[in-house]
């Protein structure tokens, strides 16, 4: 559903704004065929060449265009990391990188098509705004906002979705009030709400983990903070630690484990294996809060 949202909104942007360009590396090319037919010089499919996809985006940006690029996260980020670092960042150029296949969404494809480390990799670079939508209705605003400036933006589309959308959730939104704070990023919200039923906790939601809402975290945090992210566990540890500097606190970071799960199955199977389903989260959170 998020992917369909991306295709519809980006197609509209291509129709509305001549500055918009889309660079593909075969993935989703079929879905953009109508847009490509209307805008052959701005919808570019470079073939299975992800390094080139990122470099081309950098070159387009240097001529004043606003490039969107798209592939599986392992190819767009892990594989083309140096192109993102140098052909965008070092050139002081921007682009909107929209990925699918983060973490274990491509569960049946295996580890070659998975990227639990995409956000952590981008965290090593300067100036990336990172969106992790939890619902397909959160996607269009993210893509449209990104069309209005030239900064570097990452939009991480996933197959797991919450039951309802929370728009304007760049800053932390408190959805439930209690003692300890549990922060859910993107699609982790529904499992967190289920996992914390009956617990005395505040549940706060964000779908824009970078730049991290440090002010919001300080305002909501008590002594105990749990962060639940749909990518590598601890990715936000530095951001949380910096936000809570000087405040006595205990933190638990939950997310995707580092150990490769050499199994296929569904994303639900992998969520369970990483303790990111509701029962797994509840066990970890209860154990932490004591």
User: Which CB, 60 or 185, lies closer to another protein?
Assistant: 60
CB 43 → another protein: shortest distance, Å?
10
CA dist., res. 39 & res. 22, Å (int): 10
User: Which CB, 67 or 74, lies closer to another protein?
Assistant: 67
CB 86 → another protein: shortest distance, Å?
6
CB 112 → another protein: shortest distance, Å?
18
CB 193 → another protein: shortest distance, Å?
43
The CA-based dihedral angle spanning residues 288, 133, 63, 91, taken in that order and rounded to the nearest 10 degrees: 10
Number of Cβ within 10 Å of residue 258's Cβ equals 10
Nearest CA to 165 out of 193, 187, 198, 143 is that of: 187
3-state secondary structure of 35: helix
CB 58 → another protein: shortest distance, Å?
5
User: Which CB, 40 or 248, lies closer to another protein?
Assistant: 40
CA dist., res. 204 & res. 189, Å (int): 8
CA dist., res. 174 & res. 258, Å (int): 29
Tokens coding 92: 């002081």
Q: Which residues bind another protein (CB under 8 A)?
A: 21, 41-42, 44, 46-47, 49, 51-52, 54-65, 67, 82-83, 86-87, 90-92
HEC string of 172-229 equals CEEEECCCEEEEEEHHHHHHHHHHCCCCCEEEEEECCCECCCHHHHHHHCCCEEEEEE
User: Which CB, 126 or 194, lies closer to another protein?
Assistant: 126
CB 56 → another protein: shortest distance, Å?
4
- Say if residues 11 and 143 touch (Cβ distance below 8 Å): no
User: Which CB, 61 or 221, lies closer to another protein?
Assistant: 61
CB 93 → another protein: shortest distance, Å?
9
Give the chain's length. 290
Query: In angstroms, what CA-CA distances link 9 with 3, 6, 25, 138, 279?
Result: 10, 5, 19, 11, 36
3-state secondary structure of 232: strand
CB 231 → another protein: shortest distance, Å?
27
User: Which CB, 59 or 234, lies closer to another protein?
Assistant: 59
User: Which CB, 90 or 268, lies closer to another protein?
Assistant: 90
CA dist., res. 62 & res. 209, Å (int): 27
User: Which CB, 8 or 65, lies closer to another protein?
Assistant: 65
């Amino acid at each position: 559903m998020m992917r369909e949202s991306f295709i519809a909104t980006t197609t509209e942007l291509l129709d509305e704004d001549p500055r918009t360009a889309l660079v593909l590396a075969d993935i989703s090319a079929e879905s953009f065929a109508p847009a490509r037919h209307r805008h052959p010089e701005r919808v570019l499919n470079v073939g299975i060449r992800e390094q080139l996809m990122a470099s081309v985006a950098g070159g387009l940006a240097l001529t004043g265009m606003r490039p969107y690029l798209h592939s599986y996260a392992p190819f767009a980020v892990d594989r083309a990391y140096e192109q993102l670092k140098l052909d965008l960042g070092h050139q002081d150029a921007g682009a909107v990188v929209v990925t699918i296949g983060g973490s274990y969404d491509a569960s049946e494809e295996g580890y070659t098509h998975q990227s639990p480390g995409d956000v952590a990799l981008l965290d090593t670079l300067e100036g990336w705004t990172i969106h992790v939508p939890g619902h397909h209705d959160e996607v269009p605003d993210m893509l449209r906002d990104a069309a209005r400036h030239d900064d570097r933006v990452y939009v991480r589309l996933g197959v797991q979705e919450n039951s309802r959308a929370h728009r304007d959730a760049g800053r932390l939104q408190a959805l439930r009030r209690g003692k300890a704070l549990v922060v859910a990023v993107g699609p982790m919200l529904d499992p967190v709400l289920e996992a914390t039923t009956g617990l005395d906790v505040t549940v706060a939601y964000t779908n824009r983990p970078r730049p991290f809402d440090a002010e919001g975290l300080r305002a909501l945090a008590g002594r105990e903070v749990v962060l639940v992210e749909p990518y590598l566990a601890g990715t936000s540890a530095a951001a949380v630690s910096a936000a809570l500097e000087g405040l006595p606190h205990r933190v638990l970071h939950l997310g995707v484990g580092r150990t490769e799960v050499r199994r296929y199955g569904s994303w639900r199977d992998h969520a369970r294996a990483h303790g990111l389903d509701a029962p797994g989260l509840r066990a970890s959170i209860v154990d932490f809060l004591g």
